[in-house]
Amino acid sequence: MTDSLPSFSDIAADFAFIDDWDEKYRYLIDLGRNLPPLTDEERSEANKVRGCASQVWLVFEGEGDTLRFRGDSDAAIVKGLVGLMMSLYSGQPKAEARSLDAEARLAEIDLKEHITPQRSNGVASMVQKIRAEAAA
């Protein structure tokens, strides 16, 4: 978790409280607005996530056993999904991040049923890149 983002558990609780999916999309967009910005240099090919319809960048930071990263996207809802991934994974021990069942956690907020297949593929691509970094 980063300082500017709520924990995934808090996000799940907020989603449970919000009935309307249009409001949940607005929540995701707001989540993305709270992400720390990336520099132009960080928006590089090396940091780009393949398999996303929108442009997505994940920047992994630091050494050691804790997974830390920041991210960005050129699309508002996808930027919120990046924030969701940061809340789910960033700050976790790498061993936990490798074994985390992202699909099950995201099912808690019924995400897959309410995003397009392209965005769902993009989330899967983000998870794959995060797991690969946690395994490195």
Active site residues: 52
> Residue 73 and residue 31: Cα distance in Å, rounded?
12
What value does the CA radius of gyration of the chain take, rounded to a whole number of Å? 14
Chain centre to alpha carbon of residue 86? 5
Our CA angle for 69, 112, 115, nearest 5°, is 85
**Beta carbons within 10 angstroms of residue 31's beta carbon:** 23
